């Protein structure tokens, strides 16, 4: 099937998504609230359209790591590979889609997502960056849409597979869409994002570790609630191997913005904490909630918009596997 610029609304509720700070800055999450009115009844569900700006800001902060990753994937594919078609599965606002389009100028790069507004944003971004002629979008609700993607030389998917009930099934389908010699790369896992020291002079020290625990719980609920939720040992190289790929391994890049943070990163941290308070605040005790409120107060010098000790540190792991090109591949 060829890519298209489908702007039809996503059919059925989008799967739920976990709060961002535990799973990388670009991994923005939140409760669906009443936006759109259709799927606010799930307890761990996100309105992705509302998250658009935060997703784009987070991914832009990651741009150096994303560019290095694209270059590394190019090496893995080999100079003679002739990359003709690249897929970005669960592409969000298309930051990596455009990085891939820049890194593989001979290819058509297709952003695949279930949220039409994010695909529109991807097209606008591609136009702005001068790669509009090589970027296409494809609206698909996954996992159903996994089987209508056509083939590709490189398939990238960042923080999307964990929003699908059957993660192994998703990897199997994606690996099956690779041409011989093609590469599947999934950004999953890594380390929770940190942005504050242990003792911030407000409330009980160790707030971020407690926030991580709450987010981890939220994430488990999110996964349990997904349609077709299937437990699996999240050994990504082994899963890629079971999907029929070879040379499966992982590689991690850091986002390391030291204190004092610039305005963009501060605004990002503030938005993440705001989302976290809305999504998982009810799992925190009163003292931690009060601390969060101080951190979020734009007027308070102790807030994340002002404090000198706020930093941004995260680690993103990208797991890769290669589709064999030999006999029987
Ligand atoms: C956490 S965001 C990741 C965005 C981007 N890849 C990144 O890493 O910044 C997850 C994306 O997957 C999409 N998504 C989640 N569940 C989906 C589903 N079942 N079908 C299609 N798209 C889905 C959302 O619309 C969202 O854009």
* CATH number, domain containing residue 169: 3.40.50.150
Q: Is residue 202 part of a domain?
A: yes
Q: Rounded to an integer, what distance in angstroms lies between the CA atom of residue 53 and that of residue 269?
A: 13
Q: Is residue 134 part of a domain?
A: yes
Give pLDDT tens digits for 102-115. 999 999 999 999 99
pLDDT of 38 over the 80 cut: no
> Which residues of the chain form beta strands (DSSP E)?
85-89, 108-113, 135-139, 152-158, 178-187, 191-194, 246-257, 312-322
| pLDDT attached to residue 2 | 35
pLDDT of 92 over the 90 cut: yes
What's the 118 CA to ligand 1 centre distance in angstroms?
9
Least confident of 78-82, 168-172, 181-185: 78-82
% the chain with pLDDT above 90? 81
pLDDT of 44 over the 80 cut: no
| pLDDT attached to residue 31 | 33
pLDDT of 23 over the 70 cut: no
pLDDT band at 33 (very low <50, low <70, confident <90, very high): very low
Q: Is 113 in the pocket of ligand 1 (CB under 6 A)?
A: yes
pLDDT of 301 over the 90 cut: yes
Q: Is 59 in the pocket of ligand 1 (CB under 6 A)?
A: yes
What's the 142 CA to ligand 1 centre distance in angstroms?
9
pLDDT of 30 over the 60 cut: no
Of residues 159 and 34, more confidence is placed in: 159
pLDDT of 175 over the 90 cut: yes
pLDDT of 242 over the 50 cut: yes
> Which candidate, 29, 101, 98, 87, places its Cα nearest to that of 58?
29
Three-class SS state of 253: strand
- Domain containing residue 261: 1-324
The sign of the torsion formed by the CA atoms of 203, 206, 210, 211 equals positive
Q: Is 118 in the pocket of ligand 1 (CB under 6 A)?
A: yes
| pLDDT attached to residue 273 | 97
Q: Is residue 5 part of a domain?
A: yes
Assess contact for 137 and 122: CB atoms under 8 A. yes
191 Rama class: left (phi>0) / alpha (psi -120 to 50) / beta: beta
> Which residues, 6+ apart, have CB-to-CB distance to 306 below 8 Å?
300
Q: Is residue 329 part of a domain?
A: no
Q: Is 91 in the pocket of ligand 1 (CB under 6 A)?
A: yes
pLDDT band at 318 (very low <50, low <70, confident <90, very high): very high
Atom of ligand 1 nearest to the CA of 141: 20
Q: Is residue 194 part of a domain?
A: yes
Q: Is residue 280 part of a domain?
A: yes
Structure tokens at 156: 């990238």
Atom of ligand 1 nearest to the CA of 26: 9
When pLDDT is averaged across residues 250-256 and rounded to a whole number, the result is: 97
Assess contact for 314 and 23: CB atoms under 8 A. no
Mutation choice for ligand 1 from 21, 61, 113, CB with most ligand atoms inside 8 A: 113
pLDDT of 275 over the 70 cut: yes
Least confident of 12-21, 110-119, 237-246: 12-21
Q: Is 93 in the pocket of ligand 1 (CB under 6 A)?
A: no
Atom of ligand 1 nearest to the CA of 143: 19
Total domain count, the chain? 1
What is the phi/psi pair of residue 294, to 5°? -65, -45
Q: Is 17 in the pocket of ligand 1 (CB under 6 A)?
A: yes
Q: Rounded to an integer, what distance in angstroms lies between the CA atom of residue 71 and that of residue 53?
A: 26
When pLDDT is averaged across residues 293-322 and rounded to a whole number, the result is: 98
**Host H or E run for residue 240:** helix 236-242
Determine how β-strand 178-187 pairs with β-strand 152-158. Answer: parallel
pLDDT of 37 over the 80 cut: no
Q: Is residue 252 part of a domain?
A: yes
Q: Is residue 254 part of a domain?
A: yes
Atom of ligand 1 nearest to the CA of 140: 21
| For ligand 1, atom 4: residue with the closest CA | 92
Atom of ligand 1 nearest to the CA of 88: 6
């Amino acid at each position: 099937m060829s890519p298209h610029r489908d702007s039809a609304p996503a059919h059925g509720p989008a799967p739920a998504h976990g709060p961002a700070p535990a799973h990388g800055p670009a991994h923005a999450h939140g409760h669906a609230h009443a936006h759109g009115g259709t799927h606010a009844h799930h307890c761990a569900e996100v309105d992705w359209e509302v998250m658009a700006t935060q997703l784009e800001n987070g991914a832009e902060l990651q741009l150096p790591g994303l560019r290095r990753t694209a270059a590394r994937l190019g090496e893995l594919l080999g100079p003679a590979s002739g990359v003709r078609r690249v897929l970005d599965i669960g592409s969000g606002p298309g930051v990596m889609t455009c990085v891939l389009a820049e890194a593989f100028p001979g290819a058509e790069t297709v952003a695949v997502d279930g949220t039409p507004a994010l695909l529109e944003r991807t097209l606008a971004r591609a136009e702005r960056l001068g790669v509009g002629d090589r970027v296409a979008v494809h609206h698909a609700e996954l996992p159903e849409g996994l089987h209508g993607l056509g083939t590709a030389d490189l398939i990238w998917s960042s923080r999307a597979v964990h929003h699908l009930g059957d993660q192994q099934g998703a990897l199997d389908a994606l690996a099956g869409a690779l041409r011989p010699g093609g590469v599947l790369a999934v950004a999953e896992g890594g380390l929770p994002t940190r942005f504050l020291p242990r003792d911030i002079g407000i409330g009980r020290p160790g707030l971020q570790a407690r926030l991580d625990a709450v987010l981890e719980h939220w994430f488990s609920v999110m996964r349990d609630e997904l349609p077709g939720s299937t437990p699996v040992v999240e050994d990504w190289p082994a899963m890629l191997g079971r999907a029929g790929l070879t040379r499966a391994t992982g590689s991690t890049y850091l986002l390391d913005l030291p204190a004092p943070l610039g305005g963009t990163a501060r605004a990002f941290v503030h938005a993440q904490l705001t989302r976290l308070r809305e999504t998982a605040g009810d799992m925190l005790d009163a003292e931690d909630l009060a601390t969060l409120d101080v951190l979020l107060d734009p007027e308070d010098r102790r807030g994340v918009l002002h404090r000198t000790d706020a930093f941004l540190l995260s680690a993103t792991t990208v797991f890769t596997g290669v589709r064999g090109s030999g006999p029987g591949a």
